[in-house]
A and B are shown apart, each in its own frame.
Chain A
Amino acid sequence: MESKEELNRIRSAQTEWEKENAAEFQKERKKEFFTHSGFPAKRIYTPVDLEEKGFDYLKDLGFPGDYPYTRGVNPSMYRRFIWGMAKYTGFPTPEESNKFWRSQVAAGQNILSIAYDLPTQLGYDPDHPLAEGEVGRVGISMCSLRDWETALSGIDLSKVLVNQVMNAAGAVGIASHIAMAEKQGVDLARLRGTCQNDIIKEYTARGNYVYPPKHALRLVCDALHYCGERMPSYRPLEVCGQHLGEKGATPLHEAAHCLANAFTYLQSAVDRGVDIDTVAPGLNFFTGIRHTGFFEEIAKHRAIRRVYARVLKEKFGAKNPRSLICRLVPAQGGIELHREQYLNNIARIAICAVEASLSGVQAMALASYDEQFGIPTVEANINTIRCQQIVAYETGIPDVVDPLAGSYFVEWLTSEFEEGIMKELANVERIGGVLKGIEQGYFQRKYAEDAYRWQKAFEKGEMMRVGVNCFREEEESRPVRVYRCDPNIEERRVAEVKELRRSRDNGRVKQALEEIKKRASADSGVDNNLMPPIIEAVKAYATTGEICDVLRGVWGEYEEHQII
Chain B
Amino acid sequence: MDQTRPIRVLLAKPGLDGHDRGVIVVAMALRDAGMEVIYTGRHQSAEQIAEAAIQEDVDVVGLSSLADAHGVVVPKIIRLLRQKGGGNIPVVLGGFIQPEDVPSLKEAGVAGVFGIGSKLDDIVAFIRGIGKTGAASQKR
| Chain A residues at the B interface, C-beta cutoff of 8 Å | 118-119, 121-122, 124, 130-134, 137-138, 202, 206-208, 246-248, 335, 338-340, 372-374, 447-448, 451-452, 455-456, 459, 468, 482, 484-485, 487, 559-560, 562-564
Contacts and interface: CB of A to CB of B under 8 A. Distances in A.
Given A246-B21, A564-B27, 11 more contacts: A137-B68, A206-B18, A248-B25, A374-B68, A452-B25, A455-B120, A456-B120, A459-B120, A459-B121, A482-B98, A560-B41
B1 to A, nearest CB: 25
B62 to A, nearest CB: 13
Interface stretch (B51-59, B69-77, B83-91, B127-135): B69-77
B18 A339 contact: no
A207 B18 contact: yes
B134 to A, nearest CB: 23
B37 to A, nearest CB: 7
21 contacts: A119-B16, A122-B16, A132-B72, A132-B73, A133-B69, A137-B69, A138-B67, A207-B17, A207-B18, A207-B19, A207-B43, A246-B21, A338-B117, A451-B21, A455-B25, A459-B119, A484-B98, A485-B68, A563-B24, A564-B31, A564-B37
Contacts of B137: none
Interface residues of B, number: 31
A80 to B, nearest CB: 39
A544 to B, nearest CB: 14
B69 A340 contact: no
A40 to B, nearest CB: 26
Interface in B29-62: 29, 31, 37, 39, 41-43, 45
Given A118-B17, A119-B16, A374-B98, A340 B68 contact: no
Contacts of A339: 116-117
Given A208-B18, A459-B119, A564 B24 contact: yes
Contacts of B39: 562, 564
Contacts of A202: 18
Interface of B: 15-21, 24-25, 27-29, 31, 37, 39, 41-43, 45, 67-69, 71-73, 98, 116-117, 119-121
Contacts of A208: 16, 18
B114 to A, nearest CB: 13
Nearest to B45: A130
B45 to A, nearest CB: 7
Nearest to B117: A339
Contacts of B119: 459
A246 B22 CA distance: 11
A333 B140 CA distance: 45
A138 B25 contact: no
Nearest to B30: A564
Contact of A248 (B21, B27, B117): B21
B71 A487 contact: yes
Nearest to A247: B21
Contacts of B45: 130
Given A133-B73, A207-B42, A455-B25, A138 B68 contact: yes
B98 A564 contact: no
B69 to A, nearest CB: 4
Contacts of A459: 119-121
Contacts of A247: 21
Contacts of B27: 564
A133 B25 contact: no
Contacts of A137: 67-69
A447 B68 CA distance: 24
A455 B121 CA distance: 11
A134 B67 contact: yes
A448 B98 contact: no
Nearest to A134: B69
Given A374-B98, A560-B42, A118 B67 contact: yes
A119 B72 CA distance: 15
B28 A452 contact: yes
B67 A448 contact: no
B124 to A, nearest CB: 11
A145 B43 CA distance: 27
A528 B121 CA distance: 54
A374 B119 CA distance: 21
Contacts of A121: 16
Given A130-B45, A451-B25, A560-B42, A118 B16 contact: yes
Contacts of A485: 68
Contacts of B19: 206-207
A91 B135 CA distance: 42
Contacts of A119: 16
A448 B116 contact: no
Contacts of A482: 98
A353 B99 CA distance: 31
B82 to A, nearest CB: 19
A130 B16 contact: yes
A448 B41 contact: no
A452 B29 CA distance: 8
Contacts of A487: 71
